[in-house]
Amino acid sequence: MLFYKYLGRNALKGTVLYEVKDEVAILTVDNPPVNPLSDGVRTGLHESLVKAEEDDTVKGVVLTGNGRAFIAGADISEFGGNVEGIPLNEVFNKLEFCKKPVVAAINGVALGGGLETALCCNYRIASKTAFVGLPEVNLGLLPGGGGTQRLPRLIGPGEALKMMLSGSHVPSKKALEMGIVDKISDDVVAESIDFIKEMAGNNDNHPRVRDKNEKMLEARGDENVLLDAQAMAAKARKGQFAPGQIIKCVEAAINIDDFDEGIKKEGEYFMECLLHPQREAMIHIFFGERAASKISDVPKDTKIKDIKKAGIIGSGTMGGGIAMCFANAGIPVHIIDQDEENLKRGVSVIEKNYDFMVNKGRLTAEQKDGVFSLVTSSLDYKDVSDCDIVIEAVYENLELKHEIFKSLDEHVKEGAILASNTSGLDIDSIASVTKRPEMVVGTHFFSPANIMRLLEVVRGEATSDETLATIMAIGKKLKKAAVVSLNAPGFIGNRMLFGYTAQANMLLLEGALPHQIDQALESFGLNMGPFRMMDLVGLDLGWRARKLSGKESPLHAKIGDELCEQDRYGQKNGAGYYNYSEGSRAPNPAPENEETYERISEENGFTRREISDEEIVDRCILALINEGADILSEGVSQRAADIDVVYINGYGFPIWRGGPMHHANAMGLDVVIEKLEKYKEITGSDVYKPSEMLVKLAKNGEKLGEAPEKDNRKEKLGFEMSSVANNF
Ligand code: 3HC
């Protein structure tokens, strides 16, 4: 007979269900939705283990999770606060030295402290759909529940380091091959019960991972394991603190005979990570990404449309990349182009991308065939009539988009969502040509769309709750970090980028050189400095747009325009702010440009001066922060963390600084204002006039957080008046 008893306490979060079946105690972690090891779970686990030990009729213990997860790790929300309940290592100790054999029945995800729990059990049986991993590094942490000591003992230090430094998720089949789990089963709990019954006679002879020392002894004296790990961390985790700590833990595992001494070292290194500002920054982004999908004025229970088929208009780089996102998520996608040659080329690029993945071992040939078969194409709009969403991805021209949306409105079935991938045009204007403005929305993907995680969702005046909720849900399905922006020039990301690159250009005009500016910002942590980025995008785009507008170029654009006049368009023709050898993207200095810089500076009344790296970083990052504060005060973004998610996932801002808004909060808003005022004085530019929101928050000792209530917002920029719009 089944009988459950709740052992957790009301005030604590989560619990463990206790049941005895066939003389086996079944402990089920119950802390929805993903069973983290919150205080109630830790207490419940400890008490359940004592109870199972004390019950003479119980032969062994099966530990599993309720719902879709086994255990998703420690409770991330507890880090940095006062932790109640039994400490994790005490629970793990009880588990590892349980007087009865324990099997981890890994029914779903076992991540971080979840896998560490399983590693304290004598045996591990996983379901076919489960996956395991130690992703703490993504939170600025290391596996602090013994993972750095136990996993290397189980699978060897090299493989363990790869897993811990990448934070990757390992599917159960691979985990079996690697030796992380002992068996795979369709019914993990039933299989575990049978296993216990089989093994129960094996008194005192149940393996413990802590005792497996062979792989440590083998690695002792072999420096390559740690050197490879350092190289991996330097390449993939530049600027991050936790990877070095992980490597030190594994070094201890290899070189210290006493397991408990290794655990002690792990504890010390973990604590250093916990107290490091990067931990707070990265956890801010973990929760920020999840908060971004929640829209404060859209009810949670809003109906979500089922997206069974998608259509894409335009087979260029963006269209093709977006099509891949849908196909990768298992959603059939149909591409339309008006030009047969373009369409053929676009589809063949998609196939080449998949072939590349096969060559790299990321897909099997069979998987490629499966996913590529979901992509179809034609020249006729009628062929997207049955789609549930159609995304337009043609070049930025409002008249052209009006034409396309009129056609889509006519051809695509009633109730389908019509989206535009515009990076800066007015969504309300696009929606106005249709009879379904409530189903029109911006879906701004970033290039290459199949790789970049950011999806800016642009909410028009008429966009309905249902449309928005559906897009946020589809964003999650496509594995994107989706963030909502109100319809305002430049949306969130490009509006901030504009102020930032403008300041980089002003620094060039005042005396710094492109490589100095790039290096200063790359040392700060950005993936790519602004001049390398402008060369990559192409200097000619803005130049042509400014020429067309017939207006005089702003000061910050003068040098870029002059380079274009000299046919230096950037990477595309091998010369821009840098020179590029044929077929290479590596920037080489271009000393021949210096004469141009000096001349344009002089013509515009600047006496070139030495500029420090500190001033470069301050001025560019402060421009981001000040614009971000305005974006927030206008309600264009819902919360400061949304801006951080945009900037990290779309613009190469270092995750370990938590995004520009978190960086401002971490600096202290009073310090931010002091610096803004200093640079306003030096440059005379309004770019550094502190945003009213910053001033108000700093005065009250508050931080950048939620956007103000609707009635208290600063007026939103209009497309007509905006200077941003003219520059994109
Ligand atoms: N602690 C607290 N809350 C967690 C959590 C955790 N470990 N993992 C997920 N959650 C919360 C999320 O914040 C979210 O809350 P919300 O609904 O209020 O926004 C909810 O659970 C669902 O999460 P997702 O939306 O991410 O659900 P998915 O199904 O998309 O993904 C997942 C599930 C793969 C488990 C993903 O949530 C995840 O990667 N979680 C984090 C795993 C992790 O990093 N574990 C290590 C923790 S640190 C640690 O264990 C230290 C130890 O070594 C001592």
Q: What is the tens place of the pLDDT at every residue in 278-319?
A: 999 999 999 999 999 999 899 999 999 999 999 999 999 999
Q: So what's the pLDDT on residue 204?
A: 64
Is 90 exceeded by the pLDDT of residue 724? no
634 is catalytic: no
Q: So what's the pLDDT on residue 203?
A: 65
Q: How far is the CA of 177 from the centre of ligand 1 (A)?
A: 26
Nearest residue (CA) to ligand 1, atom 10: 34
Tokens found for residue 478: 């496509």
Q: So what's the pLDDT on residue 541?
A: 86
Which CATH number fits the domain 500-635+638-699, given the four candidates 1.10.1040.50, 3.40.250.10, 3.40.630.30, 3.10.150.10? 1.10.1040.50
CATH architecture of 2-274: Alpha-Beta Complex (3.90)
Using DSSP's 3-state secondary structure scheme, residue 389 falls into strand
CA distance linking residue 149 with residue 170, whole number of Å: 19
Per-residue confidence at 547, pLDDT binned at 50, 70, 90? confident
Q: What is the tens place of the pLDDT at every residue in 653-692?
A: 999 999 999 999 999 999 999 999 999 999 999 999 999 9
Tell me the DSSP string of 263-294. HHHHHHHHHHHHHSHHHHHHHHHHHHHHHHT-
Q: Which 8-state DSSP code applies to residue 687? A: G
pTM for this entry: 0.94
Nearest residue (CA) to ligand 1, atom 27: 34
Mean pLDDT of the residues in the chain: 94
CA distance linking residue 543 with residue 89, whole number of Å: 61
Tokens found for residue 25: 């105690």
Ligand 1 neighbours by CB, cut-off 6 Å:
33-34, 36, 69, 72-77, 88, 109, 111-113, 116, 135-136, 139, 141, 143-145, 147, 290
Question: Which of 78, 116, 159, 562 is labelled catalytic?
Answer: 116
Q: Does domain 310-492 have CATH number 3.40.50.720?
A: yes
Nearest residue (CA) to ligand 1, atom 20: 33
Tokens found for residue 358: 């096969």
Tell me the DSSP string of 522-547. HHHT-SS-HHHHHHHH-THHHHHHHH
Q: How far is the CA of 130 from the centre of ligand 1 (A)?
A: 15
Q: How far is the CA of 115 from the centre of ligand 1 (A)?
A: 13
Q: How far is the CA of 166 from the centre of ligand 1 (A)?
A: 17
Is 60 exceeded by the pLDDT of residue 4? no
Ligand 1 nearest atom to the CA of residue 291, by list position: 19
Q: So what's the pLDDT on residue 314?
A: 96
Express as a percent the part of the chain with pLDDT over 90: 90
Among 30, 31, 34, 478, residue to substitute to test ligand 1 (most atoms within 8 Å of Cβ): 34
Express as a percent the part of the chain with pLDDT over 70: 97
Q: So what's the pLDDT on residue 720?
A: 62
Ligand 1 nearest atom to the CA of residue 143, by list position: 53
Is 90 exceeded by the pLDDT of residue 710? no
116 is catalytic: yes
Q: How far is the CA of 499 from the centre of ligand 1 (A)?
A: 35
**Of 576, 578, 589, 657, nearest in space to 617 by CA:** 657
Tell me the DSSP string of 542-603. HHHHHHHHTSPPPGGGHHHHHHHHTT--BGGGTBSSSB--TT----B--GGGHHHHHHHHHH
What would the mean pLDDT of 442-469 be, rounded to a whole number? 97
Question: Which of 47, 136, 266, 634 is labelled catalytic?
Answer: 136
Nearest residue (CA) to ligand 1, atom 13: 287
Nearest residue (CA) to ligand 1, atom 32: 72
What would the mean pLDDT of 253-269 be, rounded to a whole number? 97
Q: So what's the pLDDT on residue 583?
A: 86
Structural domain boundaries in the chain: 2-274, 310-492, 500-635+638-699
